[in-house]
Amino acid sequence: MSRQPLKTGYSEQGFSIIELVMVIVITGILAGVTSQVISKNVEQYIAITKRAGLVDTAEISLQHISRTIRQAMPYSVRLHANGQGLELLHTRSGGLFRLASRIGFNDNILTIGSNDNQFDVLGPFHKANTIALNQDILAIYKSKDAAYQLDNTATITSCNRCDIQVSREGLDQNAPVQLGFNATTLVDVTGTQRFFVIDTPVTFICDLNQNTLRRFDHYTITAALTNVDSPAELNGLVNPAESNLLAENVTGCLFYGSATDTDRQLITISLTISDQSEQISLLHQIQVVNAP
C-alpha cells in the first residue's frame, strides 16, 4: 500500500531574489536618511556646545576686567597706543582721613602740607585686614599721573585695629583704625579727605601672536606706559610681573575709550575667540567714574 503525503493546508514558499534585493535597497535608503538626520543633529549640538564654551570664556574674561577696572585708582586707567591692552592702579581699599581733632579727644589727624606719618581713619575702612604692610601704597589723588610717578604717596608701615573688618554698623569712633606710613608730606587738592590703598598695578594684554589674553600684576609701578605695554617689557622688569591666563584662542581684541583725564570715562572692549570653525565676538563697555 502506498502512503499519501499529509496535507496541512499550508504551502511552502520563500522570498524571491528580487524581493530580497528590494528590501536591502529600501533598508539602505532608510539607514542613510536616518544617519544624515542624526549626524546633522549631533553636529549642531557640538557646534552649539563649542559656541557656548567660547561665550562663557569671553564673558568670564570681560567680567573680570570690568570688576578690576571699577576698583582702579581714579584717573589711573590708561589705554595702550596699539589698542591691545590697558593698565590701571588697583586699589585694595580706601577711606577718609581725619583732618581735624574733636574737642575732648586725642585724635590723630593728618597734617596736610607738613611732614607726617600717621592718621586716624574717619568712618568705615573696608578690607583693612587685607593690607600688606611695607608693600601697599597710601595714595591721595593729586593729578592724573601723580600716582604713577609715586607723587603724593607713601608706603604703609602699620595699621592698628586693622585685624578686624570695620563697617559702619560696627564702628567705634573712640577706637578708630590708625594708619601708619613712611614719613612724607601729603596734600589734598580735592578737599575730600579721601585716601586710597594701592596694592598693585594691573595690565591686561591681548597677544594675537600667541592668541591669548593675559593679566599681569605685582610689578613695579612705572611712570611711562610705553615701558610696560608688552609682555616682554613686563617680564623684563627688575620686579617682574606675575602673569595669569584669562583666555586662549583669541583671534581679535581691541581696547578703546574716552580720554583718561575725563570725569567719566567709557572703556570699550571687543573680544573675539575662535575654535576651529566656530567663532564668537563680544563687546563690553565699562563706565569709569573718576571721582577722587
Q: Give the rounded percent of residues in the chain with a pLDDT score beyond 70.
A: 86
What pLDDT, on the 0 to 100 scale, is given for residue 170?
47
Q: Please tell me whether residues 206 and 258 are part of one structural domain.
A: yes
What pLDDT, on the 0 to 100 scale, is given for residue 4?
57
CB 156 within 8 A of CB 145: no
Query: Is there a domain that residue 143 lies in?
Result: yes
Q: Please tell me whether residues 211 and 225 are part of one structural domain.
A: yes
The model's pLDDT over 264-284, given as tens digits with 9 standing for 90+, comes to: 889 999 999 998 888 999 999
What pLDDT, on the 0 to 100 scale, is given for residue 28?
76
What is residue 233's DSSP assignment?
H
**Which residue, of 173, 198, 223, is where some domain finishes?**
198
Residue 2 has pLDDT above 60, yes or no: no
Report d(CA 162, CA 125) in Å as an integer.
9
3-state secondary structure 138-155: EECCCCCCCCCCCCCEEE
Report d(CA 221, CA 20) in Å as an integer.
83
> Which amino acid, 264?
R
Q: Please tell me whether residues 123 and 138 are part of one structural domain.
A: yes
pTM listed for this prediction: 0.81
The count of domains in the chain is 2
- Angle at CA 259, nearest 5°, toward 221 and 218? 20
Average predicted confidence (pLDDT) for the chain: 86
Give the range with max mean pLDDT: 29-33, 100-104, 163-167, 202-206.
202-206
Kindly report the number of other CB atoms within 10 A of residue 108's CB atom: 19
Query: Is there a domain that residue 18 lies in?
Result: no
Q: Please tell me whether residues 220 and 129 are part of one structural domain.
A: no
Query: Is there a domain that residue 104 lies in?
Result: yes
Query: Is there a domain that residue 142 lies in?
Result: yes
CB 153 within 8 A of CB 195: no
What pLDDT, on the 0 to 100 scale, is given for residue 167?
47
The model's pLDDT over 229-239, given as tens digits with 9 standing for 90+, comes to: 999 999 999 99
Residue 49 has pLDDT above 80, yes or no: no
Query: What is the β-pairing status of strands 137-139 and 250-257?
Result: unpaired
Query: Is there a domain that residue 40 lies in?
Result: no
What pLDDT, on the 0 to 100 scale, is given for residue 33?
73
Residue 157 structural domain: 90-198
Report d(CA 220, CA 240) in Å as an integer.
8
Asked which of 33-42, 71-80, 90-99, 178-187 is least confident by mean pLDDT, the reply is: 33-42
